Structure 1
């Protein structure tokens, strides 16, 4: 007769400190996004799943918990879903129901999405990638909070270095005998050089309890917050278009976040003031070893007040 092993995870820890999140990362699942009158989009998604742990419990039964997590995720992704944030919310709520010692369950999902694109000048069909970000947090006796967003790549140009190059061009043209009026017209028509960066914009919007938030609207807002969009495939006219567009719209990393805020206020006027918006911009600096970063997390009502002050 086999002896039943003790439930070590249920014993008290040596140090009675509660933990905010305990769980698993790197859980890969196939997720299908349903579309009206079209085949579902298949995504290979990466999940992170956590629950909180009270101070009097040593662990979360990791092996059995992984079985619960796997079963819960399998149930959530077994059918095509229209909104991945709702799938995360459903998973978080199921996990909360199955753990009698937890008060909070969090589910995060990331997946790479292929999008159809068109080059800006040659108008050729191409494809690009964006990262979908979805998450949900379920708490006892509280509405589940869901979030949907995207991380995209674009191009930025530094206004400061551009201004210095413009002054150099102005002085050179004057030395060549070009009149001040012509110099002004030339500099207005031909944006001068500035050091450029590859920019990474992240925009997420809380979606729980509000009308649908369209993921592609978020993607477009994030892409357009930088100096210019970039494309995987580009002919020479496209390269010229992107270079000109970026230098005609030079932006600091801070400007990109503010552009996202302005776009969110304009695009999501149907959402409640209490909706939380997260905006982040990171630029891979081309002439420095460091990178630049800016971000803002705020309720939509606060952003509306600030944007409308201008």
Structure 2
């Protein structure tokens, strides 16, 4: 007679040997929504965040323990939200990745965090306080060799098209030439910005720190780099004087989508001259076109050493280390 209870736990199916012995690159959960506490400018704030969590799966393990992902994430979140300390987004991702790797007995674990947060800043002329919404990004990959982390931000701004501005300026020169000499025309252009069409820009900047790095970067500094890379910052609430200032600033600094990416790279190199060569950098700009039905995108990614080499020599490097390559390189031997 079988005395086993119908509710007795059966064998752990996830630990069975699969029918095909092939490892899986990433197995995990996405769309995990949590309220987390993060460190912000010396204080603490609660954020609404979305998390993703993955592990490598070996060729002889049938599946990951999916229910444990939720337990592991909840445990780490509880430590941060209920404890006295607050962490940066990338540090929280690091904590969760290390816990998940240990509990899942995985070679590697990867966690990403995306949190929306408000920031108050004054309008440029009136000083009226306005709440702007930014996105803070954190990621970490834990392996037996340590944990590499990544911090990132997404911010909005405004760009003015240089090409259309030159076309408008050329026609204006023709008309002004009937009544003014060249010197007078130059004075007019110096005093009055030339019209062009505008775009709202979405800039994203990531900086990745390798295993063992003790460097700490502030998301506020990254936001400043992204906003400065565009023609002008934008503000949710403005008086007329602010609107005029923003529009004039943008038209005096016309930039293509490609210019924004290069300026963000310049901002990282200038602001962080002491970062080592194996730090990863990614800049992405998307402009929402106003006179076209499509949008435009530009990106540059690579190790900081690669970027410095290309800037110094002016020669194109045939290979740019991608974010996926950099993340996947954690704890894996070079081929």
If the length of structure 1 is used for normalisation, what is the TM-score?
Answer: 0.92
Deviating 4+ runs (over 6 angstroms)? none
Residues 17-56 of structure 1 aligned to structure 2 (within 5 Å): 17-34=22-39, 39-56=43-60
Q: CA deviation at 1:309?
A: 5.5
Per-residue deviation, residues 176-198 of structure 1 (Å, max 9, x unmatched): x2222111221222221111111
Residue of structure 2 equivalent to 1:186: 188
Tell me: CA distance 1:22–1:210, structure 2 relative to 1, closer, same or farther (3 Å): same
The CA RMSD measured in Å over matched residues stands at 2.0
> Does the CA contact (< 8 Å) of 2:69 and 2:100 recur in 1?
no
Per-residue deviation, residues 132-184 of structure 1 (Å, max 9, x unmatched): 001101122x2211011100000011111111011111112123x22221112
Residue of structure 2 equivalent to 1:167: 170
Residue of structure 2 equivalent to 1:255: 259
Q: Which runs of 5+ in 1 are unaligned?
A: none
Distance 2:160 2:44 in 1: 38
Q: CA deviation at 1:78?
A: 3.5
Q: Specify which of 210, 214, 218 is matched with residue 214 of structure 2.
A: 210
> Does the CA contact (< 8 Å) of 1:72 and 1:95 recur in 2?
no
Residues 282-293 of structure 1 aligned to structure 2 (within 5 Å): 282-293=286-297
> Does the CA contact (< 8 Å) of 1:34 and 1:40 recur in 2?
yes
Distance 1:60 1:73 in 2: 21
Count of aligned pairs: 306
Tell me: CA distance 1:179–1:258, structure 2 relative to 1, closer, same or farther (3 Å): same
Q: Specify which of 297, 305, 308 is matched with residue 309 of structure 2.
A: 305
Q: Specify which of 76, 80, 92 is matched with residue 87 of structure 1.
A: 92
Q: CA deviation at 1:103?
A: 1.2
Q: CA deviation at 1:76?
A: 4.5
Matched, 1:150 2:153: yes
Q: CA deviation at 1:63?
A: 2.6
Residue of structure 2 equivalent to 1:139: 143
Matched, 1:75 2:70: no
Distance 2:215 2:11 in 1: 49
Q: CA deviation at 1:4?
A: 3.8
> Does the CA contact (< 8 Å) of 1:210 and 1:272 recur in 2?
no
**SS at structure 1 position matched to 2:33:** strand
Tell me: CA distance 1:13–1:289, structure 2 relative to 1, closer, same or farther (3 Å): farther
**SS at structure 2 position matched to 1:228:** coil
Q: CA deviation at 1:35?
A: 5.6
Relative to structure 2, which stretch is displaced further, 297-306 or 22-31?
297-306
Distance 1:273 1:150 in 2: 21
**SS at structure 2 position matched to 1:127:** strand
> Does the CA contact (< 8 Å) of 1:22 and 1:53 recur in 2?
yes
Q: CA deviation at 1:61?
A: 2.6
Q: Which runs of 5+ in 2 are unaligned?
A: 315-335
Q: CA deviation at 1:262?
A: 0.7
If the length of structure 2 is used for normalisation, what is the TM-score?
Answer: 0.85
**SS at structure 2 position matched to 1:229:** coil
Relative to structure 2, which stretch is displaced further, 159-168 or 186-195?
186-195
**SS at structure 1 position matched to 2:169:** helix
Distance 1:67 1:82 in 2: 20
**SS at structure 1 position matched to 2:67:** helix
Distance 2:22 2:200 in 1: 43
Per-residue deviation, residues 281-306 of structure 1 (Å, max 9, x unmatched): 11111111211111111222232334
